[in-house]
Chains A and B, each alone.
Chain A
Amino acid sequence: MATPPRLYERLLSLVADGRDREWIVGDLREEYARRAASDGERAATRWYRGQVLKAALPSLRRRLDREPSQDVRGGSGGARFDALRLDLRLVRRQLARTPLFTAGAVLTLGLGLGLATAIFSVVNGVLLRPLPYDDPARLVWVWTDLTSIGVPRANITGQQLPWLQERSAAFTDFALMRVRPAPLVGAAGEEPEQVSLTRTTANLFEMLGVAPALGRAFAEGEDGPAGTDVVVLSWGYWQRRFGGDPAAIGSVLRINDAPHTVIGVMPEDFRFVTHTSLGPVVASDLWATLRTDWENENTGSFSYSLLGRVRPDRRVEAGMAELHALGAEMQEEFGYSIEAGLRPVALVPDLVGSVRTALLVLQAAVLVLLVAVLAGQAALLLARADRRRRELTIVRALGAGTGDVVRLVLLESTLLSVAGGLLGLGTAALTLPRFLALVPDSMPRRGDIALDATVLLAAIAASLVIGLIAGLLPALRSARSGIGSALRTLSVPAGDGASRRTRRALVVAQIALSFVLVAGTALLLRSMLNLLALDPGFATRDVVTLELQFPTQRYDELSRSVAVIDALRERLLARPGVAAVGATSALPLSAAADQNSAFFVGSVQPQEAERPLVDSYSITPGYLEAMGIRLMAGRDFTSLDTEDSAATLIDASLAASHWPGEDAVGRTLLLGGDTLTVVGVFVQPRLYRVDEDGRGQVIIPFAAGGDSRLDVVVRTNGTAPELAASARAILRDIDPLLPLSNVSTIETHLARALSERRLALVLVGAFGAVALLLAVLGTYTLLASTVSQRSRELGVRLAIGARPGSIVSLVLRGALGVVLTGTAAGLVLALGATRALQGMLYGVTPADPLTLVSTALALGALGLIAAALPARRASRIDPARTLREE
């Protein structure tokens, strides 16, 4: 008697509704035999195939609806569904049926994409978004090149402007400017406020190609000695002082005791920063016209920044080359005593130059993270595809084409990743403000960082790409496997060897990638700890600093400023809790010192030709004590040290390198045009970076060469606001119009100096954490599905007497293989990748063995912990049940 082909019969028993399976199969076998006898086996088989297909449809639909189909009317198997709607519904229901898988996939995607989006918005804002100027690529900063005395970027003298305007053919124009803090008073009797003021030639805004949002920009002739005192406000300052009131136009502000009329307000998105060769970038609150007679100033006064715009019909490189050539002529023209040239630097790359490397490192970390997310997603989907193999095979056997299956799997993957992407946007919106809080104020273009359209598009594109690529592997696998072979193995619902190998490889990749990020985090963390453990040469707590600005018109003699400081110091010392008070022109880590060439008389170093550059600044008596700077030899300044005493302090490194083995106290050095006698030697407080300065320091008494701006430093066990209140009260008695600003603590200064490192640490750390989570999840999923695939085998082993312990170790051995391979691959990757961090490391090498080994151990331990749960489950398989299922 003829029987139906086994393949179809087997298929039928799979697709037929469980309750009716036995009689349906039986009935069809009977009728097959009857038809084979009357119509031949061929026709019978054709008929049988049709019956199998029809049997599957109601049962499939019933699975979808989780209720018996109502739709057998007409007997044709029901109405046709619109393909995509059916697909979407199927995918949605499948996802809803496995909430743990769905939540896990969406959450990890959301976390990873969210972090990546937040970081990308930083990179986008700082590096990618064009500056809001007209053709910013044509803007060029012009510096004086004084490399001969160790200053590659010195400022420009006023005389250079008319000379350059006359000689240059490649530039449309040049603007001269200078940024300074200035005391500002709005109305009589008001407490003065310190503002950042840029004084510029009248053509600046026209050159940038930006018009004010309100009022007008400077007009020709408003600059120079014959000009007028007019001022343009930044949007932020307009909001702050005038609350955004348009009536601000026409009002008068007293800047440096001179009345200035407000003529305009710049647009909200206008940003313009000037930066000095050594100091941080400075944004301005206000812009006023430059009123000095720059054309006739001293040729040695390098005190301006100069910005030029290359003509539209010339190439930027041609403009730069012209400046280099003009620089060579300049030496002769101005008769400089030292070798000087011109150094043009394009504005855009210069602006972000300081953070470019750090941002590119972060961007690379983002890519590593995204690849880890992608690998994790692919591994999850592959595991799922293996579990659903039976179902997909049936769908295919029933005549769904390869394309349908691929579409189904890709649809699911894409649906997941789009959901993850949306969650990621939410995460980014939540985390970005927290990142921004860590971003140092000095970060160029900090204000341009936002989740803008570019970022949104990139995030959506990234999630789609991840969805498609992650889904491609399982989709192709399900499509490629032959139906026949798949059906033969259907009784063992499992991934075959190839699929398991792919998934193992993906998990290995995840572990390796997270290794790189974790190792990077560990290296940055150790650098941070090393830096915090360093002795920066000054007290790191109990110090409050206050900035004081003397208006130059009233304080035209230094003795007046000295008298104010002395009185303030005396009365502050009388306050409870105040241990020491002093003042300096250059706080630690402020980069505010001047650079001068010094000549050490009787030095063992060859210095005639080189004239080593030193950082020089001034302090008042009591400053060393207040700041906790240690004196190694000699004495501190006293109130008797004025210009006449010609006393100076030098740091121990200068003393040791110039007068080794000798007492530096009493020796002579030349600084600028002055001959000074060393009265004391101190341990250098860091002026630039916590770790290293690179230049020696020479200090002169404030009374001998002070500036109009200084920082008062108080050693106290009180808080900064308390102290500021005391100081304001005292100053009201001495001079009520003196502005006190920037009340801060030494901790804040330190934190600011380390802020870029802290930012990198937090960001890379966050990436590391997410990547680690993905790796653990990946390891867990891999082993859990391996255990469920092998449960029959493991159950048999248990049934014939294997001890649960041996089953646990069997599973753990499998895990160990994956974890060890991943860690080894990660180690190799990390050895190459961490080199990118070189510039951000301190006291630890990129290939630090201790860090790498502990990272490996930590990852290994986590991997085994992830494997513990599946291993336990394996040991608890019920052998009796396994045997029954056989």
Chain B
Amino acid sequence: MPDDVLTETEQLVMLALVRLVPEAYGVPVRAEIEERAGREVSLAAVYAALDRLERRGMVTSWLSDPLPERGGRARKHFRVTPEGAHALHEARETMARMWSGLEPHPDLRSR
């Protein structure tokens, strides 16, 4: 897969990050995707996607201080980078180009 092309999961995760600033870490990201997209995603899958995105420079992360409600564990926050935003936008444009000129039938919409 070319480096600047995003899978659907990656797009969902990045869009969630954008919406959740500044509370963007695993738990809310998962919840956001579940609520808005209606998708059951596991935390591990979220982190696997974030891990890949980070290595491709699309997101960056930082660690919080250890928190008592997490059993003394740190929290890992994520933010979309300009490259990530560019790729996200590119993905949207790609879809739009593919859709342009096509008008879905109303019956499709209702499902």
- The yes or no answer to B48 lying at the interface (CB within 8 A) is yes
The residue that B74 contacts in the complex, of A23, A28, A34, A70, with Cβ under 8 A, is A23
Check B27–A30 contact: CB distance below 8 A: yes
Binds B, one of A71-79, A308-316, A619-627: A71-79
Chain A nearest CB, measured from B51 CB (Å): 7
- The yes or no answer to A214 lying at the interface (CB within 8 A) is no
Report the bound CA distance from A74 to B40 in whole Å: 9
Given contacts A68-B52, A72-B9, contact A55 B70 (CB under 8 A): no
- The yes or no answer to A662 lying at the interface (CB within 8 A) is no
Check A55–B69 contact: CB distance below 8 A: no
Binds B, one of A14-22, A131-139, A183-191, A340-348: A14-22
- The yes or no answer to A3 lying at the interface (CB within 8 A) is yes
- The yes or no answer to B41 lying at the interface (CB within 8 A) is yes
Residues of A within 8 A of B94 (CB): none
Closest to B66 in A: A26
- The yes or no answer to A31 lying at the interface (CB within 8 A) is yes
Chain B nearest CB, measured from A48 CB (Å): 10
Residues of B within 8 A of A31 (CB): 27, 30-31
Check A26–B48 contact: CB distance below 8 A: no
Given contacts A29-B71, A68-B51, A75-B39, contact A23 B76 (CB under 8 A): yes
Report the bound CA distance from A57 to B48 in whole Å: 11
The residue that A27 contacts in the complex, of B1, B25, B40, B51, with Cβ under 8 A, is B25
Given contacts A68-B52, A72-B9, A72-B49, contact A26 B43 (CB under 8 A): no
Check A68–B45 contact: CB distance below 8 A: no
Chain A nearest CB, measured from B46 CB (Å): 8
Check B51–A75 contact: CB distance below 8 A: no
Residues of B within 8 A of A70 (CB): 1
- The yes or no answer to A24 lying at the interface (CB within 8 A) is yes
- The yes or no answer to B44 lying at the interface (CB within 8 A) is yes
Check B70–A77 contact: CB distance below 8 A: no
Encoded as 1 (CB less than 8 Å from any A CB) or 0, chain B from 2 to 20 comes to 0000011100000000000
Residues of A within 8 A of B73 (CB): 22-23, 25-26, 29
Chain B nearest CB, measured from A229 CB (Å): 90
The residue that B27 contacts in the complex, of A22, A27, A68, A74, with Cβ under 8 A, is A27
Check B45–A75 contact: CB distance below 8 A: yes
The residue that A26 contacts in the complex, of B42, B51, B70, with Cβ under 8 A, is B70
Report the bound CA distance from A33 to B48 in whole Å: 23
- The yes or no answer to B84 lying at the interface (CB within 8 A) is no
Check A24–B47 contact: CB distance below 8 A: yes
Check A73–B7 contact: CB distance below 8 A: yes
Check A59–B71 contact: CB distance below 8 A: no
- The yes or no answer to A822 lying at the interface (CB within 8 A) is no
Residues of A within 8 A of B52 (CB): 68
Report the bound CA distance from A27 to B42 in whole Å: 11
- The yes or no answer to A1 lying at the interface (CB within 8 A) is yes
Chief secondary structure at chain B's binding surface: helix
Q: How many residues of A contact B (CB 8 A)?
A: 35
Report the bound CA distance from A34 to B31 in whole Å: 12
Residues of A within 8 A of B74 (CB): 22-23, 26
Report the bound CA distance from A54 to B49 in whole Å: 14
Residues of B within 8 A of A77 (CB): 42, 44-45
Check B71–A26 contact: CB distance below 8 A: yes
Check B76–A75 contact: CB distance below 8 A: no
Chain B nearest CB, measured from A135 CB (Å): 73
- The yes or no answer to A69 lying at the interface (CB within 8 A) is yes
- The yes or no answer to B108 lying at the interface (CB within 8 A) is no
Report the bound CA distance from A74 to B33 in whole Å: 12
Check A24–B44 contact: CB distance below 8 A: yes
Given contacts A20-B51, A23-B76, contact A30 B41 (CB under 8 A): no
Check B40–A29 contact: CB distance below 8 A: no
Report the bound CA distance from A29 to B65 in whole Å: 16
Residues of B within 8 A of A28 (CB): 43
Residues of A within 8 A of B30 (CB): 27, 31
Check B70–A59 contact: CB distance below 8 A: no
Report the bound CA distance from A16 to B46 in whole Å: 12
Check B76–A54 contact: CB distance below 8 A: no
Check B47–A20 contact: CB distance below 8 A: yes
Residues of A within 8 A of B31 (CB): 31
Q: Interface centre among B39, B42, B70, by most A CB within 10 Å?
A: B42
- The yes or no answer to A192 lying at the interface (CB within 8 A) is no
Check A54–B45 contact: CB distance below 8 A: yes
- The yes or no answer to A114 lying at the interface (CB within 8 A) is no
- The yes or no answer to A51 lying at the interface (CB within 8 A) is yes
- The yes or no answer to B102 lying at the interface (CB within 8 A) is no
Closest to A3 in B: B71
Residues of B within 8 A of A57 (CB): 44
Check B26–A75 contact: CB distance below 8 A: no
Residues of B within 8 A of A34 (CB): 27
Report the bound CA distance from A58 to B47 in whole Å: 10
Encoded as 1 (CB less than 8 Å from any B CB) or 0, chain A from 29 to 60 comes to 11101100000000000000011001111110
Chain B nearest CB, measured from A75 CB (Å): 4
Chain B nearest CB, measured from A4 CB (Å): 9
Report the bound CA distance from A74 to B26 in whole Å: 17
Given contacts A72-B9, A72-B48, A73-B7, contact A24 B69 (CB under 8 A): no
Check A55–B76 contact: CB distance below 8 A: no
Report the bound CA distance from A74 to B39 in whole Å: 8
The residue that B42 contacts in the complex, of A3, A55, A68, with Cβ under 8 A, is A55
Check A75–B69 contact: CB distance below 8 A: no
Check B69–A29 contact: CB distance below 8 A: yes
Chain A nearest CB, measured from B19 CB (Å): 17
Check A23–B7 contact: CB distance below 8 A: no
Instruction: List A61-89 residues whose CB lies under 8 Å from chain B.
Output: 68-70, 72-77
The residue that A68 contacts in the complex, of B9, B48, B69, with Cβ under 8 A, is B48
Check B44–A51 contact: CB distance below 8 A: yes
Report the bound CA distance from A872 to B32 in whole Å: 57
Check B67–A76 contact: CB distance below 8 A: no
Q: Interface centre among B8, B27, B40, B48, by most A CB within 10 Å?
A: B48
Given contacts A29-B69, A76-B40, contact A17 B48 (CB under 8 A): yes
Residues of A within 8 A of B69 (CB): 1, 29-30, 33
Report the bound CA distance from A73 to B70 in whole Å: 28
Report the bound CA distance from A72 to B51 in whole Å: 12
Report the bound CA distance from A19 to B69 in whole Å: 21
Chain A nearest CB, measured from B33 CB (Å): 8
Residues of B within 8 A of A69 (CB): 48
Instruction: List B62-96 residues whose CB lies under 8 Å from chain A.
Output: 67, 69-71, 73-76
Report the bound CA distance from A101 to B54 in whole Å: 38
Given contacts A24-B26, A27-B26, A31-B27, contact A75 B7 (CB under 8 A): no
Closest to A76 in B: B40
Closest to B42 in A: A54
Check A30–B42 contact: CB distance below 8 A: no
Given contacts A25-B73, A26-B74, contact A75 B42 (CB under 8 A): yes
Residues of B within 8 A of A51 (CB): 42-44
Chain A nearest CB, measured from B73 CB (Å): 4
Closest to B44 in A: A55
Residues of A within 8 A of B7 (CB): 72-73
Closest to B31 in A: A31
A-B contact pairs, 25 of them (CB 8 A): A16-B44, A20-B44, A20-B47, A20-B48, A23-B74, A23-B76, A24-B43, A24-B47, A25-B73, A26-B73, A27-B26, A27-B70, A30-B70, A31-B31, A51-B43, A54-B42, A55-B44, A70-B1, A72-B48, A73-B9, A74-B8, A75-B9, A75-B45, A76-B40, A77-B45
Residues of A at the B interface (CB closer than 8 Å) are 1, 3, 16-17, 19-20, 22-31, 33-34, 50-51, 54-59, 68-70, 72-77
- Top-9 shortest CB links A-B: A54-B42, A26-B73, A27-B26, A55-B44, A26-B70, A75-B41, A23-B76, A20-B47, A72-B45
Residues of B at the A interface (CB closer than 8 Å) are 1, 7-9, 25-27, 30-31, 39-45, 47-49, 51-52, 67, 69-71, 73-76
> Contacts A25-B73, A27-B43, A27-B75 given; 11 further ones with Cβ under 8 A?
A17-B51, A20-B48, A23-B74, A23-B75, A27-B25, A27-B30, A30-B70, A31-B27, A54-B43, A54-B44, A54-B45
